[in-house]
Chains A and B, each alone.
Chain A
Amino acid sequence: MTVELLQVIKPTGEYVEEIEPDISKDELRRLYRLMVLLRNLDIRGLQLQRQGRIGFFIGSLGQEACQIGSAYALKPQDWAFPAYREIGAALLRGATLKEVMNQYFANAEDLQKGRQLTNLYGLKSINFVTGSAPIATQIPHAVGTALAAKIRGDPVVTLVYFGDGATSENDFHTGMNFAGVFKTPTVFFCQNNHWAISVPVERQTSAETIAVKAKAYGFEGVRVDGNDVLAIYRTVKEAVEKARKGGGPTLIEAVTYRMGPHSSSDDPTRYRTKEELEEWQRRDPITRFRKYLEKKRIWSESDEKKAQDDANHEIDEAIAHAEKIPRPALETLFTDVYSDMPWHLEEQLRELQEEKGRKEE
């Protein structure tokens, strides 16, 4: 059983007019600029780590279309449950680059109080739920939130991000099963980037596709070209609308490629070939979208230069700001464990403060 791969923009920039989504010229340009920002942020993020200015980096190089196309299909009242590569989706939903960079530097202005690795990012005001490193744990959460919205009669849809590797974990299957049984308004968005660190997707499943797995849970699974931002937008939008109308969940498999290392700790040359990488670089989602915009005559060489310059400028400013801010206060080691600090944490905080005091004497 195969599931077809939806494509709107061909690698050449030609497009299929009948399924081209209806997005205004300005919006198309905005989406492209966001993808450029995300690409540059990724390159700079890894550089900052290499220079020892931030501790760790995990990026989304090559997966920009997945991030932007999917998040653009949501409404503000919808909820997103990221894994750890979804900073682009956060930016699209309204997180500012300044906030994001404060998280990278884990400084005193970071809303998460310097407690999490880079890009494990969440922001309540945009319904973007703070994630964790353990794989697939967020999947049942997205189903639960969707079920809650359904119980309360609210027109809210949840979208959950995860990778191909995550589909091997129990939580993926449990989440899918609950969603099928309770017909929750949930969109399962799997970025099949072909690798789970060094393990190829063929080691995660012997099914022909990931999309096909939805069948066993009683709902639809679809496949989309993960390097085609318009195809992703179209597919996610359909799934979101269906969910909002009470049609239940959808599993979307976005077929893409992790063009960078798994994280700053990884060396992909140990397990995959240069040829494979080059083949996917030729399908770069940003180049493809740019060709489309050029074909439609809404993007020029000078637009491109400005987009690149603006992105870099914005990133420079955010870095300059974030790097100046001191690290979070000592107390933040003990706050937020509970709503109020119990006696034993107060005692431990006091001990630590006394010890610090002694050291400084």
Chain B
Amino acid sequence: MTVLNIVQAVNHTLRDEMKRNDKIVLLGEDVGVNGGVFRATEGLFQEFGPNRVIDTPLAESGIIGVSIGMALYGLKPVPEIQFLDFIYPGFDQIQSELAKFRYRSGGQFTVPVVIRTPYGGGIRGSHYHSQSTEAFFVHTPGLKVVIPATPYDTKGLLTAALRDPDPVMFLEPKKIYRTVRGDVPDDDYMVPIGKANVARDGEDVTVFAYGAMLHVAMEAVELAAAKGINVEVVDLRTLLPFDIDTILSSVKKTGRVVIVHEACKTCGFGAEIAAQIAERALLQLKAPIVRVAGFDVPFPYVLEDEYMPNANRVLNAIEKVHNF
């Protein structure tokens, strides 16, 4: 057991798995000599050398497109996109190529690339270092989309992603890169992709969250407990394919649902969860579903704290569904 924060967990997992699997190649901007701008790849260039950890030209379409080519040849490329906000020059490669290779070739060609990228607000990064646009990728058949919220899950999910036969978007909540610490077993283990985690048991209300928002939800839940409301918290962990069984069994139990994410509300991932519940468990609901989300505006700078969902907003939502 070692106590690690999330960025350390990424680093340790990459190192361990690179030792086991010599097909893994890391590539991206500033990932080599500098160890990544968030230090996620710190020391790996020195340890594994320039064929395994590659500082690339500044071109996301190149980074992702070249990764696809490497994967076709049987390597396991793990590109880092410096911020999710900068992925768009490579979006065509993700949408049109990465996600569709298996399908369009009838399963002949597969491209199990793991794209790692920090995402989300909380670092005073303004429009272009803060956005949560995970929904674009969830809206892309052929991708898996994974978001850890704890160091334990970071290691388990990243290990699973590195052994997965399909492309995975591994989105790292940068707000809690260093603030959330926890025990991480030194042994090899996986957290399966596609399985949510009941982070807290409760009977009255269910809160669905992921990434940095898990911790905001947990804070709110303590406040609710003080008011006698016993809240269950489900950490979704994988957004695609999401864990419908865990979602529905929690809804069945509580009948009251709050969904939290920092992405814009309209067409955010919460809309999918709400629709699934409406389709499959409408009659189990005792109150309308409430979403606590980022506002439908470009990510702000000075007013970031107003934009980001906080414990108070989540608590209001919990009370609203509880007292309906």
Residues of A within 8 A of B (CB): 55-56, 106, 114-117, 120, 132-135, 165-166, 168-171, 196-199, 203-205, 265-266, 270-271, 327-328, 330, 332-334, 337, 344-345, 348, 352, 355-356, 358-359
| Residue interface bits B39-69, CB-to-A below 8 A is 1, else 0 | 0000000000000000111111110000000
Closest A-chain residue to B34, C-beta based? A198
| Structural contact, B296 and A359, CB atoms closer than 8 A | no
Cβ distance B92 to chain A, nearest Cβ, rounded Å: 9
Q: Are A333 and B300 in contact (CB under 8 A)?
A: yes
Whole-angstrom distance between the Cβ of A335 and the nearest chain B Cβ: 9
The answer to whether residues A198 and B85 also contact, given A165-B58, A337-B297 and a CB cut-off of 8 A, is no
Closest CB-CB distance, A240 to chain B, in whole Å?
27
Q: Which of B2-10, B182-190, B271-279, B306-314 contacts the other chain?
A: B306-314
Q: Are B30 and A198 in contact (CB under 8 A)?
A: yes
A355 touches B313 (CB 8 A): yes
Which chain A residue has the least Cβ–Cβ distance from B313? Answer: A355
B33, B125, B127, B296: the one within 8 Å of A198 (CB): B33
* Interface residues of B, count at CB 8 A: 39
Q: Are B266 and A344 in contact (CB under 8 A)?
A: yes
Instruction: Give the complex CA separation of A186 and B300 in angstroms.
Output: 32
Q: How far is the CA of A55 from the CA of B306 in the complex (A)?
A: 16
Cα A270 to Cα B127 with chains together (Å):
28
Report if A116-B127 is in contact (Cβ < 8 Å); known contacts: A170-B89, A337-B298: yes
In the bound complex, do residue A203 and residue B57 qualify as a contact, i.e. CB atoms below 8 Å apart? yes
Question: In the complex the two chains form, what is the Cα distance from A332 to B300 in whole Å?
Answer: 9
27 A-B residue pairings within 8 Å (CB atoms): A106-B301, A106-B302, A115-B126, A115-B127, A116-B301, A134-B85, A134-B89, A135-B58, A168-B59, A169-B58, A169-B59, A169-B89, A196-B58, A197-B37, A198-B55, A199-B30, A203-B55, A266-B37, A271-B34, A328-B302, A330-B306, A333-B300, A345-B295, A348-B265, A352-B295, A355-B313, A358-B316
Top 5 A-B pairs, shortest CB-CB distance: A198-B34, A133-B128, A114-B302, A168-B57, A165-B58
Flag if A134 contacts B295 (CB, 8 Å): no
Note all chain A residues with C-beta closer than 8 A to B128. Answer: 117, 132-134
Of A171, A197, A344, the residue contacting B29 (CB under 8 A) is A197
Minimal beta-carbon separation of A120 from chain B (angstroms): 8
Question: What residues on A are CB-neighbors of B61 within 8 Å?
Answer: 170
Q: Does residue B1 face the partner (Cβ distance < 8 Å to A)?
A: no
Q: List the B side residues contacting A169 at CB < 8 Å.
A: 58-60, 89
User: Separation in Å of the B63 CB from the closest CB of chain A?
Assistant: 10
CB nearest neighbor in A for B90: A170
A134 x B126 contact (CB < 8 A): no
Max chain B Cβ within 10 angstroms of own Cβ: one of A114, A196, A333:
A333
Report yes or no: B37 in contact with A333, Cβ–Cβ below 8 A.
no
Tell whether A133 pairs with B127 under 8 Å between CB atoms, given A114-B302, A168-B57, A334-B297: yes
Once the chains are docked, how many angstroms separate the CA of A116 from the CA of B298? Answer: 11
